[in-house]
Amino acid sequence: MPYRNLTMEQMEAVRFDDNLLLSACPGSGKTKTLVSKLCYLLENKESLRIGKRKIVAITYTNVAADTIKERLLSYGIDSSALWIGTIHSFCLHWVIKPNINLIPRLCKGYVIIDEHEKQAKIDELKEKYHINKFERVETKLGLDYKPVYSRGVALFDLVREYHLYLGQNRLIDFDLIINLSYRLLKENSFLGRRLSKLSSHLLVDEYQDTSDIQYEILSSVVSRQQTTVTFVGDKEQAIYTGLGAVVKDKTDLKETFKLDSIAEKSLTGCFRSSQRIVDYYSNYQDGNIDIQSMSKLKDFASVVHLDNTIHKNDLAEYVANIIKTHLAQGIEQREIVVLCPSWFAVMELSRRLEEFSDDFSIDGFLVSPIPKNQDNIWLNLIRLALLEPSVENYIKRQRIAKTLSEFLYDIRETDELIQPKKILRAVNSLSIKAVGAIEKWIEGIIKDFYLKLNLEYNNNSLGASSMRSLLDATAQRMKSYSMNYEASDLHRFFCDPSGVKITSCHSTKGDEYDVVICTGLLKGKVPHWQDIRNRSMQHQNYVARRLLYVVASRAKKHLYMISENGYVSNSGYHYVKTEQL
């Protein structure tokens, strides 16, 4: 049951039915509390006078949304009154798609460019405008719909050409989804009024990672005072302020959302890490909160090791030896993570670790031949076709099948929602094997899926259009990256990883592992040069301490913080250990 073993703090937050700011330290059961609160709202719709309105939950990542959906499914609770997804999904589903006739740029069709394609275009433009390949480029537009850079500088021209490219090719990126939604809501106030009538409760997870423009979009709904709002997060984990996130306190939120009142509650105590780990990452707090381990690992003899003696050429072997040591102690591969400050460093270390990984497998950075555009309905079918039916995958397959059913209904391929069980039976009986050319396999399983469900395949339907879009994007991706993958290779991109994970420091937020090994803790990397140049020491300290706090608090048992030496910048600067360590 969802309420079993909740603490008094957690249960108070679950039952509280008014505007709420809930602060949650690492490992304090934030997700458990959020899921329980959603269960409580769904189970008490009548007494809470929710009626036919929706409960909306905004998560920072699709993974977080999927995790919550799967937990709700495991409890067997009817979640038809719940909508959950990222702010970008919210804008697409609630703002853009129902009002696409009001957006001339999109009404004739569009495709969402994924992050890999976007980065490839940015890299091409960096070369054209002679901009350092490591320079961070802010492609999102301001509230005035203009580049954030001053006119006349190379970065302004780069961003302008990037957006011209998007427009000419009927593409939009995730930042543009936000910009278009903001403009639509500001120019058509009736849309906000309509949304406020549709939503009874709005819950925002990781609220500290919300940008000003995203706050404005959400306030278009909440400020009508017909929606109860809950903000959940931890200002100590605000690692995206350099990318525009704004940390608001209780007073700021009350003003932004025009609330009559908002209560503030906290979740204290860490159910994840040993006390030694907690004591270490507490050094990076600004709030000086006394966090106590409530975990079964409270008194575990954790290793907390800081090292700045390793040369970068020896880093891969050193990390591999740490991994092998803990594997020999019985720790599972999937309970070990290696972190790097950038995706470039992730790719480099992944490649070098391969030389020393005879005793373990690596789940590193891989570019999928199929763009994982969440807006394309057929990605769900591909996932189901590749995800083996098993007890372990039961809930996940149910969740994906439910999403696929909703997509089919939304694009009018079906007159009513198809039961997930029927979807799964159709998928399990697909006769097309994952062999040969990827594009041919995708087309084959989609058409076979129509056949198994007795649906008519129409070349002019949205389903067929989505298939062609996915096939074109896949062909383009494989050509751009000179890929020669076949359908039999797809499992590695779509199935759950089971090896040692290698990822970026920022992307590990929300995760937890027995062993965390963080590399690249060097000034210029953490904090990044763009948070150093022309920035105050106060800003540098803030950014570095937030990231160190998040990284260290992912560890349950053991933590390694490595500042390898031997790096030299183009200007001759020898990188030194992150000062804030």
Dist CA 211 CA 209 (whole Å) = 7
**pLDDT computed for residue 119 by the predictor:** 85
Do 296 and 262 fall within a single domain?
no
Structure tokens at 489: 């290779």
Known binding residue 24? Answer is: yes
Do 232 and 88 fall within a single domain?
yes
Domain boundary among 479, 494, 509: 494
Dist CA 440 CA 432 (whole Å) = 10
Nearest to 382, CA basis, from 400, 409, 364 = 400
**pLDDT computed for residue 577 by the predictor:** 98
Look at residue 577 and tell me if it is in a domain. no
Look at residue 223 and tell me if it is in a domain. yes
Known binding residue 167? Answer is: no
Domain assignment of residue 313, given as a range: 275-361+498-562
Nearest to 213, CA basis, from 141, 276, 299, 269 = 141
Q: In this structure, what DSSP letter does residue 162 have?
A: H
Do 342 and 453 fall within a single domain?
no
Is 255:563 a contact under the CB 8 Å cutoff? no
Do 393 and 468 fall within a single domain?
yes
Three-state DSSP at 155 gives helix
Known binding residue 64? Answer is: no
Is 110:172 a contact under the CB 8 Å cutoff? yes
Known binding residue 536? Answer is: no
The sign of the torsion formed by the CA atoms of 528, 530, 533, 534 equals negative
The sign of the torsion formed by the CA atoms of 78, 84, 89, 91 equals positive
Dist CA 88 CA 59 (whole Å) = 10
**pLDDT computed for residue 105 by the predictor:** 85
Look at residue 391 and tell me if it is in a domain. yes
Do 61 and 209 fall within a single domain?
yes
Domain boundary among 494, 522, 540: 494
Terminal-residue alpha carbon distance, the chain = 42
Domain boundary among 231, 250, 267: 267
Do 415 and 485 fall within a single domain?
yes
**pLDDT computed for residue 2 by the predictor:** 78
Known binding residue 26? Answer is: yes
**pLDDT computed for residue 374 by the predictor:** 59
Three-state DSSP at 267 gives strand
Residue 15 main-chain phi, psi, to 5 deg: -85, -15
Strands (E) across 191-345 are located at: 199-205, 228-233, 263-267, 304-307, 336-340
Known binding residue 28? Answer is: yes
Do 215 and 335 fall within a single domain?
no
Kindly write down the DSSP assignment for every residue of 398-426, as one continuous string: HHHHHHHHHHHHHTTSSSSPPPHHHHHHH
**pLDDT computed for residue 1 by the predictor:** 64
- What CATH number is attached to the domain comprising 528? 3.40.50.300
**pLDDT computed for residue 373 by the predictor:** 66
Look at residue 106 and tell me if it is in a domain. no
**pLDDT computed for residue 260 by the predictor:** 94
Structure tokens at 374: 């969440």
The sign of the torsion formed by the CA atoms of 139, 141, 146, 152 equals negative
**pLDDT computed for residue 416 by the predictor:** 85
**pLDDT computed for residue 135 by the predictor:** 83
Look at residue 457 and tell me if it is in a domain. yes
Do 294 and 313 fall within a single domain?
yes
Do 384 and 468 fall within a single domain?
yes
Dist CA 250 CA 259 (whole Å) = 10
Look at residue 251 and tell me if it is in a domain. yes
Do 204 and 73 fall within a single domain?
yes
What's the domain count of the chain?
Answer: 4
Do 357 and 506 fall within a single domain?
yes
- Contacts of residue 472, Cβ cutoff 8 Å, sequence gap at least 6: none
Do 252 and 279 fall within a single domain?
no
Structure tokens at 465: 């259009």
Look at residue 75 and tell me if it is in a domain. yes
C-alpha 160: how far from chain center: 27
pLDDT tens per residue, the chain (581 residues)?
678 889 999 999 999 999 999 999 999 999 999 999 999 999 999 888 898 999 999 999 999 999 999 999 999 888 889 999 999 999 999 999 999 999 988 888 888 887 777 888 999 999 999 998 878 898 988 878 889 899 989 999 999 999 999 999 888 999 999 999 999 999 999 999 999 999 999 999 999 999 999 999 999 988 777 899 999 999 999 999 887 899 999 999 999 999 999 999 999 999 999 999 999 999 999 988 899 999 999 999 999 999 999 999 999 999 999 999 999 999 999 999 999 999 889 989 998 998 998 889 988 877 789 887 656 889 999 999 999 899 989 999 999 999 999 888 887 778 888 999 999 999 999 988 888 999 999 999 999 999 999 998 988 888 888 899 889 889 988 887 889 999 999 988 888 778 999 999 999 999 999 999 999 999 999 999 989 988 999 999 999 999 999 999 999 999 999 999 999 988 889 999 999 99
Known binding residue 569? Answer is: no
Look at residue 442 and tell me if it is in a domain. yes
Known binding residue 13? Answer is: no
Nearest to 2, CA basis, from 27, 29, 35 = 35
